[in-house]
Structure 1
């Protein structure tokens, strides 16, 4: 079983005993999303830590988008609840890269692709650079940030 999933389950028990309602509800929702992902597809399978991390990233993004929607609708209380859940989920994700660290990894990816194609990559080869950059970033930065960094480096 994935270590991250085990940690989520053990933290769920701790939250239950401590009567932390927000953490308890959030962990239940996250574990339900992980279970749904495990049974999705043709056959049930056990998720790896990376796959569980992807589910957590998706769930955190959902909470942030919901908080923005609640703010736009003038529902501050619900927005605060969504932000609290996103913060709990973020605690299980690796730390996000700083802009400088991201730029350094993107520079390395651009250099690798330049070596492969025999010159500076063009806009048409952005997909190759994105693939190399995402492999280096490994979920420690949002896709939009990576794409913006790659675009600025290529242009």
Structure 2
């Protein structure tokens, strides 16, 4: 079942349960998917990889917005963003823990034959493809730097 169909099913459930916050988040996700599908004038579907990118970007936006709202002492707005983030995270793959991320990155470093900081680009290219949706790009970058700079 595609992500779009899952979202539509969840929208129906949220409407029946009268869960306004969840419904708003689900509609936002569906809107992003529909915008991407119709982006280039065609009504072709989008791949799972593209859906994952859309969700990852939306999750990052919500997280960043929540942080800004908390800095501005707007707890009410931060709570809205965090509730939407929770709904988005339901559809993303499970995030890797720090230990799992480090183990994956060590395997990638060995695979590409990276020896030092100069090889960071090679490692990041392979890591972002392999770990898409499973780890934040910032966390990947920081861990790669730490592993390549002994």
For the criterion TM > 0.5, the same-fold answer is: yes
For 1:42 and 1:73, locate their aligned partners in 2 and report how far apart those are by CA, in whole Å. 40
Which secondary structure does the structure 1 equivalent of 2:108 belong to? helix
Residue 7 of structure 1 aligns with which residue? 6
Q: After TM superposition, give the deviation of residue 121 of structure 1 in Å.
A: 2.5
**Alpha-carbon deviation of 1:42?**
5.6
Q: Which runs of 4+ in 1 moved over 4 A?
A: none
Question: What TM-score results when the alignment is normalised by the length of structure 2?
Answer: 0.92
Structure 2 unaligned blocks of 5 or more = none
Does 2:86 correspond to 1:126? Answer: no
- 1:117 aligned residue: none
Instruction: Structure 1: give runs of 5+ residues left out of the alignment.
Output: 115-119
Q: TM-score with structure 1 length normalisation? A: 0.89
Q: Calculate the aligned-residue CA RMSD, in Å.
A: 1.4
Matches within 5 A, 1:1-155: 3-41=2-40, 43-114=42-113, 120-155=114-149
1:124 Cα deviation from its structure 2 partner: 2.4
The total of aligned residue pairs comes to 149
Give the secondary structure class of the aligned counterpart of 2:135.
Answer: coil
- Give the Cα separation in 2 of the matches to 1:110 and 1:15: 44
